[in-house]
Amino acid sequence: MDIRRHTAAQTGFTMVELLMTIAIAAIVAMLAIPSFQYVTNSNRVAAEVNGLLGDLQFARAEAIKEGQPVTVCMSKGGTTCDTTGSAWQSGWIVYSNPTGTGANTTIPAAGSILRVQSTFTSTDTFTAAPAFSAITYNREGYAIGVGNGTLISLHVTSGSPAQIAAWTRCLAVSMNGMTQTAIVNQVINGVGTTTPGVASTGVTCQ
């Protein structure tokens, strides 16, 4: 009686194939990480800038529609205004302010808060220059409490100087209530100080 032994063929990766696979995966990861960081930074910065831009536009529209002032002010807690400082990354609120004169001293009345923006979860800074902590829109839609050439500049806090500059964004506010956004070194026309007989030079996003 013959006894025949059958050995099953063994399959798998050789050491060379495994090393090649690891090398290819490493190359793909090196190419993908910068793209992922770009998308992440782009989405975050856009959300932060557009958050305040949208709330300023909303406040202006509400002031015109309701025929009374509406204020956007810095607020860490979401219930009262921070009356000093210029760090808008701490958050802000939008509220109806019938007696608003542009001075940021009014505590919102009960039921007057229309929108709340929480403190940024990132380490990005969002700083106003000249420093101000509130913008009030009157019934005509004009911004009171700020001057022409006012910028709120958003800066990331990590990366090389070139990367930080590349992700800088600015939000410009003019006395007529209009808002504009810009990238680093972009001149925002029509916002800078105007001298009689001399065209406005605008302000530069920095």
| pLDDT by position in tens, the chain (length 206) | 555 555 555 566 687 777 787 878 777 666 655 566 767 888 889 899 999 999 999 999 999 999 999 999 999 999 999 988 899 999 999 999 998 776 666 788 889 999 999 999 999 999 998 888 999 999 999 998 777 668 899 998 877 788 888 889 999 988 888 898 988 888 886 555 444 444 456 788 88
Distance CA 61, CA 148 (A): 20
Strand partners, 183: 169
Distance CA 157, CA 173 (A): 24
Domains of the chain plus CATH, in order, are: 15-204 (3.55.40.10)
Cβ-proximal residues to 170 (8 Å cutoff; 6+ apart), any chain:
151, 152, 153, 154, 181, 182, 183, 184, 186, 188, 205, 206
